[in-house]
Amino acid sequence: MLAKTLRSTALKLGAACALMAGLVPGVANAWEPTKAVTFIIPAGTGGGADQMARFIQGVIQKNNLMDKPVVVINKGGGAGAEGFIEMKASKADPHKIIITLSNLFTTPLGTGAPFNWKDMKPVSMLALDQFVLWTNAEKNYPDAKAYVDAVKAAPDRQFKMGGTGSKQEDQIITAAIEKQLDGKHFTYVPYDGGGKVAVQLVGGHVDSSVNNPIEAVAQWRGKQLKPLCIFDSKRSTYTDKVTDDMAWSDIPTCMESGLPVEYQMLRGIFTTSGATDEQVQFYVDLFKKVRETEDWKEFMKKGAFNQTTMSGPEFEKWLTAAEAKHKELMQGAGFLAASQ
Amino acid sequence: MEDFSSLMGGFAVAISGYNILLMVVGILLGVIIGVLPGLGGANGVAILLPLTFGMDPTSAIIMLTSIYWGALFGGAITSILFNIPGEPWSVATTFDGHPMAQKGKADEALVGAFTSSFVGAIFAVVLITFLAPVIAKFALRFGPAEFFAVQFLTFASFLGMGRGSAMKTLASMCLGFALASVGLDGVTGTLRLTFGYDELLNGFKFLVAVIGLFGIGEILSSMEEGLAFRGAAAKLKMDAVIRTWRQLPRMAVTFLRSCIVGSWMGITPGGATPASFMGYGLAKRFSRNGRNFGKGELEGVVAPETAAHAAGTAAMLPMLTLGIPGSPTAAVLLGGLLIWGLQPGPLLFVEQKEFVWGLIASMYMGNVVGLVIVLTCVPLFAAILRVPFSIIAPAIVVVCAIGAYTVNNSMFDVWMMLVFGVMGYLFTKLGYPLPPLVLALVLGDQAESSFRQAMLTSQGDVTVFWHNWLSGGIMTLGVILALWPLVSMLLGKKEGDDKVTTTA
């Protein structure tokens, strides 16, 4: 028994080492990576982008979708500028890919950091991440309207909205909500990660948050947080019960609750600008295979993602529109850097 | 007792030949990762995470936590032998650990460090075992004001206890704050002090600074002293373990104090780094041997190591029950949990009983196995010091350079490391203490964020720090500790003309 487990572990370790050292011979057709692919996360550990990238790494290695290993690194400095600038600087190296969040648009606009999505080559959109308006379950607001009314009735800035980072998606949504408050404002409190925001909300240190579903689902199931509305044009399509009596699809849209705000975040993949069409195609196919796995579908469901995907010209068109929308939203909120 | 029977069930899971083998492999890998500066526990676990996808969740987490324990143990080795802390929480270990090595007592320092790591970790695990639900709720009470109070207490417990003048400590700390403020300001989202250099976007990395200040600085000092490696006198004696253990019982109070401080910091989650500094600071102030701290006192190794490991272990608790990682390594482990289909959070203890108790049982096992392994290797580690300095110094410089490069894969960091090295040398020459600078560099931006978040929520009212007994109590304690040197000076208890007259 022991000998057997010993042997199987040794085999596993050996196989894994071989894999890591890149000794497994590749099947030659079209372009394939000739060395390990670096997968950059322009954010810190533990957040939504980090969870997704590490999950993708797991899926690729578990299903042997690529001969060379994937190395995931976090380069979240300067609100992600560090990661994007590295992509821009290594344009000749097609062995680098990056996962994006909204800071693809918000960081250059808000800080003036010298990069743009056009400095990279778009591979594909994996999904769109949702935002939900959460409150502490103990406060028991019946719906989004009741909460908005409470904010309107209170003195200015008495209600606190917790969010990730500054001048990024969470604060942009907050600014958009404030436009519906008859001149009242939230006090926006920036934290360094979505998980932390959810916990601060449970502890009652802020009054609401706009966490992504995956960041707050555990607290929802634990009956500590209550979702009021989802910032999408349509309700979520996931009908499996998450808590005893509610599914993601039971959360009304903010629009139908009388709060006309809509925002979703891109979860997409880019490679370096010097990559050839063949190289881009390799990554497009790779992520298509990732999306087809059962693990991925399960992950999408757990995080209540909007599963819109696209690549090629369609994706570039979407990006151009999204950039314009961010510029408009940020201009409206006064978040643009001086140089813009 | 229901918890107790669950724990026994957990042991049944953890004690299989396969899982114990994974523990041994994990700890050995972890020690190697801990020894190499720059690699670090978080990176190590991240690199090895894919290895575990084929395993069942319980075995996988046992292997990964073992790597974590191993890295925690390993971090102490380079701190003691070469004055190079591989992890933020090993910085305090260098203060007395390295002087001990220079006096030829490297083996005792290593045994002391390993043993106290073990004691701290076990204390925290026991706490987790029996108090998990209660403690998890306590962590929720921590808002920005409470976080700042804890960070303030850490700085305060350090002020005035530096070797030499209080003003030099303060100056060094302020320089650390200035360095910490470089990069993106998390509260307003604007760049500070980058002067248009993209390389400075991310600020100064702790590891680059520390490898330079301590590692390279130390080499420069040794070179000046005629290439004599002061640890060379180390004799290999096989009774190191017994010799050291005989000294430990009289440090029972220090052990207990550090255990409590560490567990508390891990849970809240203040983290292992403030815990180690606070453990060292408090021991220096309250221990009978406090006066000798910094000159190679075993108790000065015991205090920070115990606290750091109690904190590192206790940090697993908020990760499991709240889904917030207490350390970067815990954050990577958190990613692992998600891949295995486990959702950390309030329901994990209810829905995944077998996994949770298997993990807790493996914490006991992993630490016992780890202690046995590292203690066996002490003579081997200590023997490294017998290699002539002219051979080992270049090797250290190369390892340092690789370490600094690995942090960001950028040459810029290697140059920064050299600059910090020169700075470290100058600091030592001029009698300015380095630890306050490092402490401020590590905790400065966190403290700043917490302070400004608290100010935002209170709309600029400073009394927010006294708005409840929790943060109020900690702040008051902090203020007392910060002013202590001043008060004792005024009362004339401190004599000597080298004390600077404080006007602050």
Tens-digit pLDDT profile for residues B448-471 = 989 999 999 888 888 889 988 888
The answer to whether B155 and B443 have CB atoms below 8 angstroms apart is yes
The rounded distance, in Å, linking the Cα atoms of B276 and B75 is: 13
pTM score, whole prediction: 0.83
Q: Are strands A265-272 and A96-99 parallel, antiparallel or unpaired?
A: antiparallel
Q: What is residue A159's predicted lDDT score, i.e. its pLDDT? A: 95
Q: What is residue A73's predicted lDDT score, i.e. its pLDDT? A: 82
Max mean pLDDT range (A10-19, A108-117, A148-157)? A148-157
Chains A, B: CB contacts within 8 A come to: 168
Q: What is residue B351's predicted lDDT score, i.e. its pLDDT? A: 77
Residue A29 in this model has a pLDDT that exceeds 50:
yes
Max mean pLDDT range (A299-308, B27-36, B236-245)? A299-308
Mean model confidence pLDDT for chain B: 81
pLDDT per position as a tens digit, A269-289: 999 999 999 999 999 999 999
Per-domain residue ranges of chain A: 37-129+265-333, 132-250
Given an 8 Å threshold on Cβ–Cβ distance, is B457 in contact with A206? yes
Confirm whether A37-129+265-333 and A132-250 share one CATH topology.
yes
Given an 8 Å threshold on Cβ–Cβ distance, is A5 in contact with B187? no
Sorting pLDDT into bands at 50, 70 and 90, what band is B497?
very low
Q: How far is CA A46 from CA A50, A74, B355, in A?
A: 6, 10, 21
pLDDT per position as a tens digit, B282-322: 888 788 887 788 888 899 999 999 999 898 888 887 777 77
- How many of the other CB atoms lie within 10 Å of CB of B73? 29
Name chain A contacts of B268, Cβ cutoff 8 Å: none
CA distance A178 to chain B (A): 17
Q: What is residue B388's predicted lDDT score, i.e. its pLDDT? A: 79
The answer to whether A299 and A58 have CB atoms below 8 angstroms apart is no
Q: What is residue B224's predicted lDDT score, i.e. its pLDDT? A: 82
User: Which amino acid is residue A64, in one-letter code?
Assistant: N
Q: What is residue B197's predicted lDDT score, i.e. its pLDDT? A: 80
Nearest neighbour of A224 by CB, restricted to B201, B331, B346: B346
Residue A187 in this model has a pLDDT that exceeds 90:
yes
* pLDDT-above-70 percentage for chain B: 87
Sorting pLDDT into bands at 50, 70 and 90, what band is B195?
confident
CA distance B483 to chain A (A): 30
Surface-to-core class of residue B250, CB atoms within 10 Å of its CB (0-12 exposed, 13-18 middle, 19+ buried)? exposed
At residue B15, φ and ψ (nearest 5 deg) are -90, 70
Q: Which of B28-42, B350-364, B483-497 has the lowest mean pLDDT?
A: B483-497
Given an 8 Å threshold on Cβ–Cβ distance, is B53 in contact with A9? no
**Quick one: closest CA in B to A84, which residue?**
B198
Name chain B contacts of A191, Cβ cutoff 8 Å: 449, 453
Cis peptide, bond prior to residue B99, ω within 30 of zero: no
Chain B interface disruption, residue of A4, A5, A60, most B CBs within 10 A: A5
Chain A interface disruption, residue of B201, B204, B321, B465, most A CBs within 10 A: B201
Name chain A contacts of B140, Cβ cutoff 8 Å: 199, 202-203
Q: What is residue A228's predicted lDDT score, i.e. its pLDDT? A: 96
Does domain A132-250 match CATH 3.40.190.10? yes
Q: Which of A163-177, A195-209, B45-59, B252-266 has the lowest mean pLDDT?
A: B45-59
Q: What is residue B314's predicted lDDT score, i.e. its pLDDT? A: 86
**Quick one: closest CA in B to A62, which residue?**
B53
Tell which residue, A39, A249, A245, has the closest CA to residue A130.
Answer: A249
Q: What is residue B288's predicted lDDT score, i.e. its pLDDT? A: 81
Given an 8 Å threshold on Cβ–Cβ distance, is B201 in contact with A81? yes
Give the per-residue SS3 of chain A: CHHHHHHHHHHHHHHHHHHHHCCCCCCCCCCCCCCCEEEEECCCCCCHHHHHHHHHHHHHHHCCCCCCCEEEEECCCCCCHHHHHHHHHCCCCCCEEEECCCHHHHHHHHHCCCCCHHHEEEEEEEEEECCEEEEECCCCCCCHHHHHHHHHHCCCCCCEEEEECCCCHHHHHHHHHHCCCCCCCCEEEEECCHHHHHHHHHCCCCCEECCCHHHHHHHHHCCCEEEEEECCCCCCCCCCECCCCCEHHHCCECCCCCCCCCCCEEEEEEEECCCCHHHHHHHHHHHHHHHHCHHHHHHHHHCCCECCCEEHHHHHHHHHHHHHHHHHHHHHHCCCCCCC
- Extended strands (E) in B138-196: 183-184, 191-192
Name chain A contacts of B49, Cβ cutoff 8 Å: 54, 57-58
Residue A22 in this model has a pLDDT that exceeds 80:
no
**Quick one: closest CA in A to B63, which residue?**
A9
Given an 8 Å threshold on Cβ–Cβ distance, is A221 in contact with B185? no
User: Which amino acid is residue B108, in one-letter code?
Assistant: E
Residue A174 in this model has a pLDDT that exceeds 90:
yes
Sorting pLDDT into bands at 50, 70 and 90, what band is A23?
very low
pLDDT per position as a tens digit, B75-94: 888 888 888 887 778 888 98
**Quick one: closest CA in A to B205, which residue?**
A77
Name chain A contacts of B46, Cβ cutoff 8 Å: 54, 72
As a whole number, mean pLDDT of residues A174-200 equals 89
Residue B46 in this model has a pLDDT that exceeds 80:
no
Is A76 or A205 the better-scoring residue by pLDDT? A205
Name chain B contacts of A110, Cβ cutoff 8 Å: 189-190
Q: What is residue B496's predicted lDDT score, i.e. its pLDDT? A: 47
Q: What is residue B115's predicted lDDT score, i.e. its pLDDT? A: 93
Q: Which of A259-268, A310-319, B325-334 has the lowest mean pLDDT?
A: B325-334
pLDDT per position as a tens digit, B145-155: 988 988 888 88
Does domain A37-129+265-333 match CATH 3.30.1440.10? no
The answer to whether B409 and B399 have CB atoms below 8 angstroms apart is no
CA distance A314 to chain B (A): 31
Sorting pLDDT into bands at 50, 70 and 90, what band is B163?
low
Q: What is residue B499's predicted lDDT score, i.e. its pLDDT? A: 43
CA distance B330 to chain A (A): 9
Tell which residue, B83, B123, B153, has the closest CA to residue B393.
Answer: B83
Given an 8 Å threshold on Cβ–Cβ distance, is B339 in contact with A203? no
Q: How far apart are the first and last CA of chain A?
A: 67
Q: How far is CA B453 from CA A208, A330, B145, B174, B333, in A?
A: 15, 22, 8, 21, 28
CA distance B5 to chain A (A): 25
Given an 8 Å threshold on Cβ–Cβ distance, is A113 in contact with B201? yes
Is B222 or B421 the better-scoring residue by pLDDT? B421
Q: What is residue B504's predicted lDDT score, i.e. its pLDDT? A: 37
Q: In what order do the strands lie in the sheet with A120-129?
A: A70-74, A37-41, A96-99, A265-272, A120-129, A310-311
The rounded distance, in Å, linking the Cα atoms of B15 and B357 is: 12
pLDDT per position as a tens digit, A121-131: 999 999 999 99
Q: What is residue A19's predicted lDDT score, i.e. its pLDDT? A: 46
- How many of the other CB atoms lie within 10 Å of CB of B494? 12
Given an 8 Å threshold on Cβ–Cβ distance, is B347 in contact with A222? yes
As a whole number, mean pLDDT of residues A185-204 equals 89
Is A261 or B160 the better-scoring residue by pLDDT? A261
Name chain B contacts of A71, Cβ cutoff 8 Å: 47
Given an 8 Å threshold on Cβ–Cβ distance, is A111 in contact with B341? no
pLDDT per position as a tens digit, B2-44: 667 777 877 877 778 888 888 899 888 888 887 776 666 666 7
* pLDDT-above-90 percentage for chain B: 14
**Quick one: closest CA in B to A17, which residue?**
B51
The answer to whether B119 and B107 have CB atoms below 8 angstroms apart is no
Is B184 or B253 the better-scoring residue by pLDDT? B253
The yes/no answer to whether this complex scores an ipTM above 0.85 is no
Given an 8 Å threshold on Cβ–Cβ distance, is A45 in contact with B332? yes
Look up residue A99 and give its two tokens.
Answer: 């996962």
